[in-house]
């Protein structure tokens, strides 16, 4: 590329020098082509061949560049001729294709018509040096390209505009050619059309060029495309502004034209490219098989090429989607994503129904007790109510266990005390069963303040380690607290007391970050601590207390606890 540039410029400069002449010549050539396609075809072959031979498979590859370079070099030596040659080859190729396949179709006339409208903007066989054109010529070229007049006198603008128009013209794209760096590469033909590269000012000329490319590019499709393009040209010239589109899908270009140069420059999507590549692979196969019948296959191939896009669209539709709205935008979302993530909802009430509610007198007592005793605390006696442990659940085994864990806290309302208790009862019942199976996990119940107090009192009364006693006497109402639970809780309390009461953490509740967790009042912790300290040495005391039934009573009293 880099190497090439210099050469190019040289050639280019020379061209510039002879600009008008060239233009003239080109025009002449063009006309000749139109009039005598056959001749062109004859002339072209050699040059074309060269190009083709070079890299059938590689489109924009380095090879391509190299080739160009070579040509450029040649051109350097003989600037004019070179340029002409290149352009000619390309143009002629296309022309050939066109003429051959499409000739009959009113292509000739149409083109001529267009041509007429397109004054004499220089048509360098495939490459046009807009730089050489006068403003007026550029304007005309513009008209030819966009189908409308322009009063702009800015040469640069005009050139850009025209170039863009050409670049993005449907013709180019549909033809399978890619405009890159002022170079038009024809994928279809798998030969690259040498264009002026590296010269920012050199612009590919419009209509004619496009036509060429189309023709040249698709030896296979050229035929069809050629006709198509020509017709389109006509249409364009007349209807561009109206937005008339050709029957072909490629007609997209028409729309693009209308939309304007800016949009035209849009590059194809990655996906599109990929698709295209795939298609090409397929095409290549097809191509090889039918080199001779290019014309015939042309359409087919074209269609194939187009298909990818359609497929893409169809694909998007393929997946079942639903419309969803995000931030006011409606979006299609695959239904799959809608799948419920959490565990399936569970009607925990069903449990109760299923299991003949095991009403223990104890439960009733418990309830009454709670209501009566706890007073202020009643409400939070059971913060988490729902206990899924049911026979059914048991049957299901571990899975349920997990589920329960997660879903356990569904109910937090205090109102459900009773139910919770029932559940608890059931739980207990189940617990036994489950214990055997070892699958069930007890629903986590946060310890309430009242519970803690009772525990502490109990410990104070009976001494630590008398969990069964404590449970029996102090936790009669809480069926779900086992002696083990009490023991564990006590242990935790001890830890807490040691931790929280330590000077470092003074007043700072480690968990205060979580508002839902009610910190254990330091008072209680203090008591716990005291108890803990006392207990070891209080073996006697405990024994003493134990002995006297009264002592237990005394112990229950608050005052006593404080004392303890």
The minimum distance between CB 337 and DNA, in angstroms, equals 35
Question: What's the CA gap between 170 and 548, in Å, rounded?
Answer: 105
The minimum distance between CB 397 and DNA, in angstroms, equals 12
Q: Which two tokens stand for residue 299?
A: 């359409």
- CA 142 to chain CA centroid, Å, is 40
> Of 101, 122, 284, 293, which Cα lies nearest the Cα of 191?
284
Q: Does 484 contact DNA by CB under 7 A?
A: yes
Q: Which is nearer to DNA, 300 or 473 (CB)?
A: 473
In angstroms, the Cα distances linking 558 to 159, 461, 563 are 98, 11, 9
Q: Which is nearer to DNA, 294 or 443 (CB)?
A: 443
The minimum distance between CB 309 and DNA, in angstroms, equals 59
Within residues 442-481, the interface with DNA by CB under 7 A covers 442-445, 447, 464-469, 480
Q: Which is nearer to DNA, 109 or 398 (CB)?
A: 398
Count CB-CB contacts under 10 A for residue 282. 15
The minimum distance between CB 556 and DNA, in angstroms, equals 18
Give the burial string for 7-18 (b: 16+ CB within 10 Å, else e). Answer: bbbbbbebbbee
Question: What's the CA gap between 1 and 554, in Å, rounded?
Answer: 102
Q: Which is nearer to DNA, 171 or 485 (CB)?
A: 485
- Torsion 207-213-214-216 (CA) sign: positive
Binding mask 279-318 for DNA (x = CB under 7 A): ----------------------------------------
The minimum distance between CB 541 and DNA, in angstroms, equals 15
The minimum distance between CB 484 and DNA, in angstroms, equals 5
The minimum distance between CB 502 and DNA, in angstroms, equals 20
The minimum distance between CB 267 and DNA, in angstroms, equals 59
The minimum distance between CB 464 and DNA, in angstroms, equals 7
DSSP single-letter state for residue 201: S
Q: Which is nearer to DNA, 142 or 447 (CB)?
A: 447
Q: Does 388 contact DNA by CB under 7 A?
A: no
Contacts of 372 by beta carbon, 8 Å cutoff, 6+ apart: none
Q: Which is nearer to DNA, 201 or 443 (CB)?
A: 443
Question: What's the CA gap between 158 and 72, in Å, rounded?
Answer: 26
Q: Does 510 contact DNA by CB under 7 A?
A: no
Stretch that binds DNA, among 2-10, 433-441, 508-516, 537-545 (CB under 7 A): 433-441
The minimum distance between CB 487 and DNA, in angstroms, equals 5
Q: If binding means CB under 7 A, how many residues of this protein chain bind DNA?
A: 21
Pairing of strands 183-186, 191-193: antiparallel
Contacts of 199 by beta carbon, 8 Å cutoff, 6+ apart: 5, 8, 9, 12, 182
Q: Which is nearer to DNA, 146 or 447 (CB)?
A: 447
Q: Which two tokens stand for residue 527?
A: 């008591």
Q: Which is nearer to DNA, 52 or 445 (CB)?
A: 445
Among 40, 72, 457, 485, binds DNA (CB under 7 A): 485
Helices (H), 370-448: 391-396, 398-407, 417-437
Q: Which is nearer to DNA, 115 or 382 (CB)?
A: 382
- CA 439 to chain CA centroid, Å, is 42
In angstroms, the Cα distances linking 376 to 233, 379, 555 are 90, 7, 22
DSSP states along 269-310: PHHHHHHHHHHHHHHHHHHHH-STTHHHHHHHHHHHHHHHHH
The minimum distance between CB 538 and DNA, in angstroms, equals 13
Q: Which is nearer to DNA, 187 or 454 (CB)?
A: 454
- CA 135 to chain CA centroid, Å, is 47
In angstroms, the Cα distances linking 352 to 260, 387, 423, 425 are 71, 10, 8, 11
Beta bridge partners of 177: 186
Question: What's the CA gap between 251 and 169, in Å, rounded?
Answer: 9
Q: Which is nearer to DNA, 228 or 351 (CB)?
A: 351
Among 105, 304, 483, 551, binds DNA (CB under 7 A): 483
Q: Which is nearer to DNA, 49 or 435 (CB)?
A: 435
The minimum distance between CB 339 and DNA, in angstroms, equals 30
* 140 contacts 121 by C-beta, under 8 angstroms: yes
Residues at the interface with DNA (CB under 7 A) = 435, 438, 440-445, 447, 464-469, 480, 483-485, 487-488
């Amino acid at each position: 590329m880099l190497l090439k540039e210099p050469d190019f410029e040289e050639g280019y400069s020379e061209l510039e020098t002879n600009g008008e002449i060239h233009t003239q010549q080109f025009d002449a050539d063009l006309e000749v082509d139109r009039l005598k396609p056959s001749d062109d075809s004859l002339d072209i072959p050699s040059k074309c061949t060269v190009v083709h031979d070079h890299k059938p498979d590689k489109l924009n590859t380095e090879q391509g560049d190299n080739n160009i370079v070579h040509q450029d070099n040649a051109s350097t030596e003989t600037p004019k001729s070179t340029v002409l040659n290149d352009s000619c080859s390309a143009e002629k190729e296309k022309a050939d294709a066109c003429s051959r396949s499409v000739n009959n179709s009113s292509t000739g006339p149409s083109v001529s018509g267009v041509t007429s409208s397109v004054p004499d903007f220089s048509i360098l066989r495939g490459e046009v040096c807009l730089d050489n054109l006068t403003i007026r010529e550029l304007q005309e070229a513009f008209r030819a390209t966009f189908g409308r007049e322009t009063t702009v006198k800015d040469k640069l603008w005009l050139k850009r505009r025209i170039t863009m128009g050409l670049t993005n013209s449907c013709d180019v794209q549909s033809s399978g050619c890619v405009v890159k760096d002022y170079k038009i590469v024809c994928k279809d033909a798998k030969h690259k059309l040498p264009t002026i590269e590296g010269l920012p000012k050199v612009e590919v000329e419009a209509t004619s060029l496009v036509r060429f490319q189309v023709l040249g590019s698709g030896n296979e499709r050229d035929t069809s495309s050629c006709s198509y393009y020509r017709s389109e040209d006509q249409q364009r010239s007349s209807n561009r502004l109206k937005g008339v589109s050709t029957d072909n899908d490629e007609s997209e270009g028409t729309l693009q034209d209308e939309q304007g140069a800016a949009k035209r420059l849009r590059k194809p999507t990655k996906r599109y490219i990929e698709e295209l590549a795939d298609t090409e692979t397929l095409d290549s196969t097809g191509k090889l098989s039918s080199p001779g019948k290019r014309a015939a296959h042309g359409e087919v191939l074209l269609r194939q090429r187009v298909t990818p896009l359609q497929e893409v669209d169809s694909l998007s539709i393929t997946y079942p989607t639903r419309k969803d709205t995000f931030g006011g935008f409606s979006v299609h979302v695959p239904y799959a994503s809608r799948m419920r993530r959490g565990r399936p909802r569970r009607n925990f009430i069903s449990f109760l129904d299923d299991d003949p509610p095991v009403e223990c007198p104890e439960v009733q007592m418990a309830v009454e007790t709670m209501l009566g005793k706890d007073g202020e605390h009643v409400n939070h006696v059971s913060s988490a109510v729902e206990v899924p442990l049911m026979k059914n659940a048991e049957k299901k085994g571990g899975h349920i266990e997990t589920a329960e864990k997660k879903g356990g806290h569904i109910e937090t309302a205090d109102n459900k005390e009773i139910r919770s208790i029932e559940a608890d009862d059931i739980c207990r019942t189940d617990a036994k069963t489950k214990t055997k199976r070892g699958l069930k996990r007890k629903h986590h119940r946060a310890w309430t303040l009242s519970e803690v107090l009772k525990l502490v009192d109990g410990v104070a009364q009976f001494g630590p380690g008398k969990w069964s006693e404590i449970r029996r006497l102090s936790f009669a109402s809480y069926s779900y607290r086992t002696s083990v639970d009490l023991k564990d809780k006590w242990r935790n309390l001890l830890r807490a007391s040691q931790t929280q009461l330590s000077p470092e953490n003074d007043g700072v509740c480690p968990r205060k970050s979580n508002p839902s967790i009610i910190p254990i009042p330091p008072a209680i912790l203090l008591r716990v601590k005291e108890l803990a300290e006392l207990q070891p040495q209080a073996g006697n005391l405990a024994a003493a207390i134990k002995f006297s039934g009264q002592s237990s009573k005394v112990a229950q009293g608050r005052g006593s606890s404080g004392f303890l």
